[in-house]
């Protein structure tokens, strides 16, 4: 566990962020390997079917992820204030909530998936594969939530390394199971989904065993858990705006894929692959943003607000350098990266067009995300939610729709950076007001420090 309320600021944020970044690289390798195997050994249609499933899964888990983020922020602030009893209650509450939520979402997803395909206009030839992939993946949500809950709790406590170790194990297992189920057993797209679920399940079980033996604050057990309604209400207050923000984004992804669906299987496949490549570029900003969440939470909880602005400047410098690097790589090697996933030249060209447009504005996205992370770390998640809502539904979706009517599929991509630019300007203006400082959960760190017994 790491105390981020003292020590060199840039170094603290960097050291805390890098394990999460590496973890997300391995997390993306799940999807990258899946897409390579699907594209190379199953076909373009299967790539499109799997791609159609991702926004639906994201819709299901978005609100839960947001509330979990609220719990992480609360844990980080209590930990910064050295209130370890409250930390323990917050962890128990998060585990109970996520277990119940995973069951509800799995049932809801399986019941309504056919209606969702109809709603977004998924081509008929993709429905069978998409349903098979989604159904298997949804069945493993409880395992995914379990692992992510442990990761979120550890981040709140300042430990970003332990989740990385188990994610590496999970990724290597996923690659092995992919090869076994698809190439040896011939299970097709269902084998890819089952490989993901099984590898995450094994990583979750191993992480539970490890934590129960080594961590004082985190000991997962079936009996003795305490659900604290006060902490849960605080998690809801902080987490629901973030969860709704994720939900708006995920439903926006569904709206965007419904526009993409009009252009056929090749365009759907190209968007799916290019979006996976694009996700790598988003990871540094998102992970440095998560690190800044915890940094801000711990420092405000410890009564050190003066370190927050310095932390923001340091994080912006680091993410800007990385964003410019990813922009250059996408411009120079975009076609080659698309070619790893598919031999289809039409798919490669469509996907490269996406990368050229979106990659030109990575620096805008990273700056927007990092500035919003300061507000979230303080517990002010409502304004970022409204900024995202306006950027997505009043700019990105309408602009993508209108430009696609005039310029075809390439017009869809331009709605993305236009929305980012608005989000950056709005986030910066609100940050400068300083009102987010009033949302801190732990107003006055307690004078007496308890020990993590």
Residue pair 90/78 in contact (Cβ under 8 Å)? The answer is yes
DSSP one-letter code for 82: T
The predicted pLDDT at position 26 comes to 76
Residue pair 309/88 in contact (Cβ under 8 Å)? The answer is no
Residue pair 249/392 in contact (Cβ under 8 Å)? The answer is yes
- Can you tell me the mean pLDDT for 134-149? 87
DSSP one-letter code for 437: G
Which tokens go with 211? 């934590």
* Cα(91)–Cα(364) distance, integer angstroms: 35
- Residue carrying the six token digits 């310029």: 407
How many other CB atoms are found less than 10 A from the CB of residue 124?
A: 7
The predicted pLDDT at position 94 comes to 82
User: Which of the four pLDDT bands, split at 50, 70 and 90, describes residue 107?
Assistant: very high
Which tokens go with 182? 């698809």
Give yes or no for residue 135 having a pLDDT over 50: yes
Residue pair 23/290 in contact (Cβ under 8 Å)? The answer is no
Question: Read out DSSP for 334-399?
Answer: HHHHHHHH---HHHHHHHHHHHHHHHTTHHHHHHHHHHHHHHHHHT--HHHHHHHHHIIIIIIHHH
Q: Give the model confidence (pLDDT) of 158-172 as tens digits.
A: 676 777 788 888 888
- Output 291 or 82, whichever has higher pLDDT: 291
Q: Give the model confidence (pLDDT) of 362-389 as tens digits.
A: 999 999 999 998 888 888 878 888 898 8
When mean pLDDT is compared across 125-139, 233-247, 364-378, the lowest value belongs to 233-247
* Cα(79)–Cα(2) distance, integer angstroms: 10
User: Which of the four pLDDT bands, split at 50, 70 and 90, describes residue 325?
Assistant: very high
- The mean pLDDT value of the chain amounts to 84
- Can you tell me the mean pLDDT for 92-111? 87
CA 79 to chain centre: 23
Domain boundaries, the chain: 9-439
- Residue 220's alpha-carbon distances to 27, 146, 216, 341, in angstroms, are 23, 11, 11, 40
Give yes or no for residue 210 having a pLDDT over 70: yes
Q: How many residues does the chain have?
A: 453
- Output 27 or 95, whichever has higher pLDDT: 95
> 155-184 burial by CB neighbour count: b if 16+ within 10 A, else e?
bbbbbbebbbebbbbbbebbbebbbebbee
User: Which of the four pLDDT bands, split at 50, 70 and 90, describes residue 2?
Assistant: low
Give yes or no for residue 447 having a pLDDT over 70: no
Which tokens go with 415? 């709605």
């Amino acid at each position: 566990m790491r105390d981020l309320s003292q020590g060199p600021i840039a170094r603290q944020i960097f050291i805390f962020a890098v394990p999460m970044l590496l973890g997300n690289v391995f997390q993306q390798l799940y999807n990258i390997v899946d897409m390579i195997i699907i594209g190379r050994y199953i076909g373009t249609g299967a790539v499109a079917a799997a791609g159609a499933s991702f926004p639906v899964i994201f819709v299901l888990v978005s609100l839960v992820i947001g509330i979990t983020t609220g719990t992480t922020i609360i844990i980080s602030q209590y930990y910064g204030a050295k209130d370890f009893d409250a930390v323990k209650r917050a962890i128990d509450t998060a585990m109970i909530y996520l277990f119940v939520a995973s069951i509800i979402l799995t049932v809801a997803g399986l019941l309504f998936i056919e209606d969702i395909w109809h709603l977004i206009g998924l081509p008929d030839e993709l429905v069978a594969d998409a349903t098979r992939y989604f159904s298997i993946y949804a069945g493993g949500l409880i395992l995914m939530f379990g692992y992510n809950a442990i990761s979120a709790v550890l981040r709140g406590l300042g430990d970003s390394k332990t989740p990385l170790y188990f994610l590496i194990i999970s990724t290597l297992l996923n690659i092995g199971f992919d090869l076994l189920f698809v190439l040896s057993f011939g299970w097709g797209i269902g084998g890819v989904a089952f490989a993901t679920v099984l590898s995450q399940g094994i990583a979750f079980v191993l992480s539970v065993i490890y934590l129960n033996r080594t961590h004082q604050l985190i000991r997962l057990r079936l009996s003795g858990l305490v659900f604290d309604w006060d902490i849960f209400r605080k998690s809801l207050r902080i987490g629901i705006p973030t969860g709704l923000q994720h939900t708006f984004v995920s439903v926006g992804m569904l709206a965007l894929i419904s526009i993409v669906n009009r252009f056929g299987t090749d365009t759907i496949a190209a968007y799916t692959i290019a979006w996976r490549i694009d996700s790598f570029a988003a990871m540094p900003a998102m992970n440095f943003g998560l690190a800044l969440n915890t940094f801000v939470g711990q420092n405000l909880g410890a009564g050190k607000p003066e370190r927050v602005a310095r932390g923001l400047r340091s994080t912006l410098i680091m993410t800007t350098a990385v964003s410019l690097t990813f922009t250059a790589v996408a411009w120079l090697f975009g076609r080659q990266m698309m070619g790893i996933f598919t031999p289809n030249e039409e798919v490669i060209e469509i996907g490269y067009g996406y990368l050229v447009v979106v990659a030109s504005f990575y620096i805008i996205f990273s700056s927007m995300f990092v500035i919003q992370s300061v507000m979230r770390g303080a517990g002010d998640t409502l304004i970022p939610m409204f900024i995202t809502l306006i950027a997505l539904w009043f700019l990105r979706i309408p602009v993508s729709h209108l430009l696609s009517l005039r310029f075809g599929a390439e017009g869809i991509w331009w709605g993305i950076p236009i929305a980012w630019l608005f989000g950056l300007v709005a986030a910066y203006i609100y940050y400068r007001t300083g009102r987010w400082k009033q949302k801190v959960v732990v107003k006055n760190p307690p004078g007496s420090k308890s020990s993590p017994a």
